[in-house]
Amino acid sequence: MANIQESIKAIMGEMGAIEKAKENTQGFRFKYRGIDDVYNELHGLLAKHGVFTVPEVLPETMVSTEVVSKSGGVIFNKACVIRYHFVAEDGTRETATVIGSAMDSGDKAWNKAMSVAHKYAFFQMFAIATDDIDDPDASTHEVVTKASIKDEQAMRNGHAQIAKLIEDNGDILAPEYIDGVRADAEKAKTVPDLRAVWKDIDDTVKRERAAETKARTEEAGSTITDKDVKDHKRKLFNESVAKLKADVDGAEPDDEADKDGQPLF
């Protein structure tokens, strides 16, 4: 009577490769080996050598979540860790511990998760071959960090705010200056670079508006005081900041941003 190690060795010697004959046509298309392909290949060999499997679900690992599909329906996502005990006729055993995870819009997610786990337990225990196995070293994946996503959003906001600042103050900015700062904004590769462009435009607008106000005051011979001029400049600046807050999509400026003349990105 063979023990489990001898039985596993005998089964591996008699079984062949299992082709990836099925194809997933939803989303990313790929070929795969289904659980019934594995059962069809292994059932006779397991019976011949007196080997069977006993599943043991680890309750503390069971996870159940819900997500919303593109169509608005609810999809149930189930995952758990399962130990599969491979037992021989003499009572000896080997154990494979695997993860099962699956999604379903009905009540079959747990069933699918266990089927996936069982399939991969067989793959690992018997080293089942395929003609086109996916080797992890054959591909790499580029990921986007949260920091890079935040910077990308800030760059979009920055370009939008610069465009709005130029649009609102085109009457006092020279055309050649506008062309220059637009070129600088396009060349900016980082958020600090773009903020520097915004700051240059903002400082120029303040100077030009102050000069414009002073010129009008002198021309009219007005008795407007320096305090009146400062109040008017502050009003114009606050109005500009308020417009930016309202017009820039996704910008969430700090409450103090308008006090120091800082960009809202």
Looking at residue 225, what is its pLDDT?
Answer: 66
Cα distance between residue 187 and residue 212, in whole Å: 31
30-44, 122-136, 164-178: the lowest-pLDDT one: 122-136
Cα distance between residue 253 and residue 237, in whole Å: 15
Whether the per-residue pLDDT at 83 is higher than 50: the answer is yes
Looking at residue 252, what is its pLDDT?
Answer: 47
How many CB atoms lie under 10 A from the CB of residue 161? 25
Looking at residue 255, what is its pLDDT?
Answer: 44
Q: What is the DSSP pairing of strand 63-68 with strand 52-57?
A: unpaired
Average pLDDT, the chain: 83
> Mean pLDDT, to the nearest integer, of 195-209?
93
CA distances from 30 to 22, 126, 244 (A): 8, 23, 47
Looking at residue 114, what is its pLDDT?
Answer: 93
Whether the per-residue pLDDT at 136 is higher than 60: the answer is no
Cα distance between residue 71 and residue 108, in whole Å: 19
36-45, 122-131, 136-145, 210-219: the lowest-pLDDT one: 136-145
Looking at residue 32, what is its pLDDT?
Answer: 81
> Mean pLDDT, to the nearest integer, of 22-30?
73
Contacts of 216 (CB under 8 A, 6+ apart): none
Cα distance between residue 115 and residue 102, in whole Å: 9
- pTM, two decimals, is 0.49
Whether the per-residue pLDDT at 166 is higher than 90: the answer is yes
How many CB atoms lie under 10 A from the CB of residue 28? 6
CA distances from 100 to 24, 106, 127, 130, 247 (A): 18, 17, 18, 21, 48
By CB atoms closer than 10 A (0-12, 13-18, 19+), residue 165 is: buried
Cα distance between residue 99 and residue 82, in whole Å: 6
Whether the per-residue pLDDT at 257 is higher than 60: the answer is no
Over the stretch 86-96, which tens digit does the pLDDT of each residue have?
Answer: 999 999 999 99
Looking at residue 253, what is its pLDDT?
Answer: 45
Comparing C-alpha atoms, which of 48, 116, 126, 132 is closest to residue 94? 126
E strand intervals along the chain: 22-24, 30-32, 52-57, 63-68, 74-87, 93-104
| pLDDT cut 90: percent of the chain above it | 49
Whether the per-residue pLDDT at 97 is higher than 90: the answer is yes
Q: At what angle do helices 175-187 and 191-220 cross, to 10 degrees?
A: 160
